[in-house]
């Protein structure tokens, strides 16, 4: 950076003028104070209320101030005791009975007993109603009709039909147990953090949307799950989460010591990873469980992707390996199916996703799409043009575009305003769309593909033919409406085959949660949902 030297001298002189009097301090807080930097807060739905939050960064925060009935082992996917010491599921799969741990209190001193849990269940159901089903937690309480306290430490949940995802749901941040008094407040007030009181090892001190969230240590905490070493009080006094827009600034802050953990949404670039390694800090990574970064086709009649052959050609034309290594670095995992590899019941489909350009070209030729003068294919005078909307979440769209061009497919990237995004999918002008859902359970995909419960009915309905949608619904029902683990496993395996065979999902990359962790921080851990777990974290 030689060119910058003379300018630096000039700027330094300017700085001498302004430096006095401003309290700039380039270092992070003391040893008891951990600083975590996220990417920007949710631009349109600022929320810190466990049940309503879908923003994964905030679910990381919630994990550390609110406990759940159960916990999930990141290694095995097994559900283990936490606030509940044991549980029983009835034969018909409709009644879940939890025996609670004794002596747990919320941070405001109130008891966390069976009645409090039952009131939570009532609160969740009421919230679903109050938000017209918008609250994210709605997808975790499918079929839940209520709960009752059998005795002070026994609580019974009642479902209208079996839901094999429910036990896992009780381990998530969305069903974290909070002081039920919060449900007296409006969903909007709770989103701002009002009345949100958990039993976790930290206390939510305040949440200022888009600015920061601060947690302080909970004195007397003594009920960490069996998955953590330190079951008692946190080893940090305070944790400050802030939001940094620029990726390079977040990484730079980690390296210069201004922050302790840099937590990006999309994985670090290979350049940043190398830089962090060089500075002695560490990049922790774990694939987020749930739906991979995959594209969903618009198979409505008349659209080019209505033809299954074109969808298969698309899958063959994408070089997933080069994609992963170019965008995220040479040792980045290659996506293997509709789900990320850390999802329970995951089945790799790598062979079907292999890069095969001649195969793609052959399929397209056979389907009647012939290469024209400009290198793109056309059929009956219509160019093979696919419209693909991109947002700030998209990574590497231009590489995808270049890869598809090799096969003669014209991928048109559309940048949308927030306003357009709201109605874009519903209007159906897209050919490929992307959405994902983080949850350590394959049932997550239901909320994208099953029109009955999907967040966007339009996307679900267009993702496959009517028969295809039916088949997907059948497989989900088979997997969910049972207590037979074997049946669930088989149904999910069939589903994963079906999704790729039919080109319903067109996977692009494995979503890996990266965290740049300062060399001063010890005891870093991911939860089963690849969220941040601070029980064992110390700062030296």
Partner 1 sequence: MTATIAEPVDVDVAPPLVRPGSRWIPLVRRPLFLIAAFYVVFVLASAFWPKLFTSYGPIDTDPGSVALAPSLDHLFGTDIYGRDLWTRVLYGSPLTIKATLIALGIAVVAGLALGIVSGFFGSITDSILMRFVDVLLAIPGLLLALSIVTALGYGTIPVAVAVGVGIVPGFARTTRAEVLRVKTLPYVEAARAGGASWTRVLLRHILPNSWGPVAVLAVLDAGVAIIAIASLSFLGFGAAPPAAEWGTLIADGRNYLVTSWWLSLLPGLFVALLVLSLNHISKTLQELTR
Partner 2 sequence: MARYVLGRIGQAVLVLWAAYTLTFAILYLLPSDPMELQLAAAGVQPDSLSAEQVAAIKHQFGLDQPIWLQYWHHLAGLLRGDFGTSLTQQVPVSQLLADRIGPTLLLSVSAATVALVLGSALAYLATFTRLTFLTRLPALGASFPQFFVALFLIQFFSFQLGWFPATGGLVMPVITIAVLASSVLAQVLIRSFEETLSQPYVTTARAKGLSRSAVHLRHAFRNAALPAMTILGVIVGLTVTSSIVVETVFTREGIGKLAQEAVLSQDVPVVLAVVTVAAAVFVLVNLVVDLLYPLLDPRISHTRPAAASVASVEGVAL
> Nearer to partner 1 by C-beta: 322 or 522?
322
Is residue 414 near partner 1 by the rule CB under 8 A?
A: yes
CB of 115: closest distance to partner 1 in angstroms? 49
CB-CB neighbours of 87 under 10 Å: 18
Q: Which of 265, 379, 457, 520 binds partner 2 (CB under 8 A)?
A: 457
Report the C-alpha gap between 193 and 203 in whole angstroms: 11
The pair of three-digit structure tokens given for residue 443, joined into one six-digit string? 């049932």
Q: Which window, 10-18, 68-76, 135-143, 414-422, contacts partner 1 (CB under 8 A)?
A: 414-422
Give the one entry of partner 1, partner 2, none that residue 416 binds, where binding means its C-beta sits below a cut-off of 5 to 8 angstroms depending on kind: partner 1
Task: State how beta strands 33-38 and 238-243 pair.
Answer: parallel
Task: State how beta strands 385-390 and 410-415 pair.
Answer: parallel
Is residue 42 near partner 2 by the rule CB under 8 A?
A: yes
The pair of three-digit structure tokens given for residue 398, joined into one six-digit string? 């231009």
> Nearer to partner 2 by C-beta: 183 or 492?
183
For the packed helices 485-501 and 466-480, what is the interaxial angle rounded to 10 degrees? 160
Report the C-alpha gap between 445 and 24 in whole angstroms: 47
Is residue 246 near partner 2 by the rule CB under 8 A?
A: yes
Q: Which of 421, 474, 501, 519 binds partner 2 (CB under 8 A)?
A: 421
- Sheet architecture: strand order including 144-151: 84-89, 95-100, 154-159, 144-151
- Give the count of residues interacting with partner 1 (CB under 8 A): 31
Is residue 131 near partner 1 by the rule CB under 8 A?
A: no
On whether the CB atoms of residues 500 and 513 are closer than 8 A, the answer is no
Is residue 417 near partner 1 by the rule CB under 8 A?
A: yes
Report the C-alpha gap between 260 and 29 in whole angstroms: 9
Q: Which of 92, 151, 331, 398 binds partner 1 (CB under 8 A)?
A: 398
- Count CA within 13 A, CB hemisphere, residue 314: 32
The pair of three-digit structure tokens given for residue 368, joined into one six-digit string? 């009647």
Residues contacting residue 299 through CB under 8 Å, at least 6 positions apart: 305, 306, 311, 462, 463, 464, 465, 468
Q: Which window, 146-154, 310-318, 404-412, 419-427, contacts partner 2 (CB under 8 A)?
A: 419-427
Could you say which residues in the range 251-280 bind partner 1, by CB under 8 A? Answer: 251-252, 255, 269, 271-272, 274-275
Q: Which of 144, 228, 386, 454 binds partner 2 (CB under 8 A)?
A: 454
Q: Mapping DSSP to helix (H, G, I), strand (E, B) and coil, where does residue 56 land?
A: helix
> Nearer to partner 2 by C-beta: 26 or 219?
26
Task: State how beta strands 410-415 and 95-100 pair.
Answer: unpaired
> Nearer to partner 1 by C-beta: 323 or 526?
323
Q: Mapping DSSP to helix (H, G, I), strand (E, B) and coil, where does residue 173 land?
A: coil
Report the C-alpha gap between 265 and 512 in whole angstroms: 9
Is residue 357 near partner 1 by the rule CB under 8 A?
A: no
> Nearer to partner 2 by C-beta: 420 or 522?
420
Q: Which of 97, 158, 238, 325 binds partner 1 (CB under 8 A)?
A: 325
Give the one entry of partner 1, partner 2, none that residue 147 binds, where binding means its C-beta sits below a cut-off of 5 to 8 angstroms depending on kind: none
With tokens 């074997």, the residue in question is 486
Is residue 422 near partner 1 by the rule CB under 8 A?
A: no
Rg over CA atoms, the chain = 25
On whether the CB atoms of residues 295 and 317 are closer than 8 A, the answer is no
- Sheet architecture: strand order including 293-297: 432-434, 293-297, 505-509
> Nearer to partner 1 by C-beta: 5 or 466?
5
CB of 434: closest distance to partner 1 in angstroms? 15
What residues does 538 pair with on adjacent strands? Answer: 522
The pair of three-digit structure tokens given for residue 65, joined into one six-digit string? 């101030």
Is residue 415 near partner 2 by the rule CB under 8 A?
A: no
Q: Which window, 124-132, 416-424, 437-445, 497-505, contacts partner 1 (CB under 8 A)?
A: 416-424
On whether the CB atoms of residues 503 and 294 are closer than 8 A, the answer is no
Give the one entry of partner 2, partner 1, none that residue 483 binds, where binding means its C-beta sits below a cut-off of 5 to 8 angstroms depending on kind: none
Is residue 188 near partner 1 by the rule CB under 8 A?
A: no
Report the interface residues with partner 1, using CB under 8 A.
Answer: 1, 246-248, 251-252, 255, 269, 271-272, 274-275, 322, 325-327, 390, 392, 397-399, 401-402, 412-417, 419-420
Report the interface residues with partner 2, using CB under 8 A.
Answer: 1, 4, 7-8, 11, 14-15, 17-19, 22, 24-26, 42-46, 52, 54, 131-136, 188-189, 191-192, 208-211, 242-246, 248-249, 252-253, 255-256, 258, 417-423, 425-426, 454-459
């Amino acid at each position: 950076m030689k060119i910058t030297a003379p300018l630096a001298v000039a700027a330094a002189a300017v700085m001498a003028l302004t430096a006095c009097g401003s309290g700039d301090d380039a270092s992070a807080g003391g040893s008891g104070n951990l600083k975590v930097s996220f990417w920007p807060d949710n631009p349109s739905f600022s929320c810190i209320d466990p049940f309503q939050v879908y923003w994964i960064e905030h679910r990381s925060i919630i994990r550390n101030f609110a406990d759940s009935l159960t916990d999930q082992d990141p290694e095995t996917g097994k559900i283990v005791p936490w606030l509940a010491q044991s549980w029983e599921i009835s034969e018909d799969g409709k009644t879940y009975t939890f025996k609670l741990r004794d002596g747990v209190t919320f941070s405001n001193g109130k008891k966390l007993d069976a009645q409090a849990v039952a009131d939570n269940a009532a609160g969740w159901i009421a919230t679903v109603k109050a938000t017209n089903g918008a609250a994210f937690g709605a997808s975790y309480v499918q079929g839940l009709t209520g709960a009752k306290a059998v005795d002070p430490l026994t609580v019974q949940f009642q479902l209208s039909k079996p839901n094999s995802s429910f036990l896992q749901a009780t381990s998530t941040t969305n069903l974290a147990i909070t002081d039920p008094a919060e449900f007296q407040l409006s969903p909007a007030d709770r989103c701002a953090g009002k009345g949100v009181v958990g039993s976790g090892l930290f206390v939510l001190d305040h949440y200022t949307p888009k600015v920061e969230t601060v947690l302080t240590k909970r004195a007397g905490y003594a009920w960490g799950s069996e998955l953590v070493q330190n079951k008692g009080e946190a080893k940090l006094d305070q944790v400050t989460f802030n939001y940094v827009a620029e990726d390079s600034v977040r990484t730079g802050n980690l390296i210069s010591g201004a922050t302790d953990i840099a937590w990006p949404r999309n994985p670090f670039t290979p350049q940043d990873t190398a830089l962090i390694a060089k500075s002695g800090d560490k990049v922790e990574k774990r694939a987020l469980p749930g739906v991979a970064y995959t594209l969903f086709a618009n198979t409505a009649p008349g659209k080019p992707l209505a033809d299954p052959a074109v969808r298969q050609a698309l899958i063959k034309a994408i070089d997933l390996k080069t994609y992963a290594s170019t965008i995220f670095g040479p040792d980045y995992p290659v996506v293997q199916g509709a789900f990320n590899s850390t999802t329970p019941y995951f089945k790799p489909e790598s062979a079907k996703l292999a890069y095969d350009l001649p195969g793609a070209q052959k399929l397209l030729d056979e389907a009647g799409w012939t290469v024209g003068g400009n290198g793109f294919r056309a059929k009956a005078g219509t160019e093979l043009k696919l419209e693909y909307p991109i947002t700030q979440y998209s990574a590497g769209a231009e590489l995808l575009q270049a890869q598809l061009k090799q096969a003669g497919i014209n991928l048109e990237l559309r940048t949308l305003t927030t306003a357009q995004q709201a109605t874009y999918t519903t209007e159906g002008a897209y050919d490929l769309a992307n959405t994902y859902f983080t949850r350590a359970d394959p049932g997550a995909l239901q909320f994208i593909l099953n029109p009955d419960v999907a967040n966007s009915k339009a996307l679900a309905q267009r993702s496959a033919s009517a028969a295809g949608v039916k088949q997907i619904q059948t497989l989900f029902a088979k997997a969910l409406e049972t207590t037979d683990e074997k049946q669930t496993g088989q149904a999910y395996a069939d589903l994963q085959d079906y999704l790729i065979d039919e080109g319903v999902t067109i996977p692009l990359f494995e979503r890996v949660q990266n965290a740049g962790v300062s060399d001063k921080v010890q005891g870093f851990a991911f939860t089963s949902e690849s969220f941040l777990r601070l029980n064992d974290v110390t700062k030296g």
